[in-house]
Amino acid sequence: MGIEDLLTPGTVLGSFRASSKKQTLMALAEHISAAHSLDSRIVFDALQAREKIGSTGVGHGVAIPHARIPNLEKIVGLFAHLKTPVEFESVDDQPVDLVFMLLAPEEAGAEHLKALAKVSRLLRDETMCDKIRRTTDSSALYAMIAQPSSNAA
């Protein structure tokens, strides 16, 4: 499974506006829910429950919120480049402007972890993150993030 299997052109958002961590999670939960016919409240509640365990702000302006969702058939993702960084209680106390949300079926074990690892590798690449931060167009972001050659490994 590659990044291209997690995203669609409609689940990559450039210049996304949000003013807080909660608002970011809520708005992105609504967006991914609409794209995949999910209940946004269930998605938001699952993301909030995961955040209570520990922030998914992994540092360097990146967050990877993730949750397991009942009745979801496959792992899905959403990427958002925030227009203005938001406080996310990240491990390095830096605000977040790159958010990659992952939702997995409840029974997804190793596949969920593999998807998290793949996203983490992509967003640990400083050169890639610099390119992403210079891009606000959703279509260009999708081409950059979801092209199979950009995230092989």
Contact 115, 77 (CB under 8 A): yes
Catalytic residue at 81?
Answer: no
- Burial of residue 129 (CB within 10 Å: 0-12, 13-18, 19+) is middle
Q: Which of 31, 36, 66, 81 is catalytic?
A: 66
| Helix or strand run (H / E) with residue 86 | strand 76-86
Residue 56 has a CB neighbour count (10 Å cut-off) of 26
Angle at 132 between CA 30 and CA 118, to 5 degrees: 75
| Helix or strand run (H / E) with residue 145 | helix 138-146
Active site residues: 66
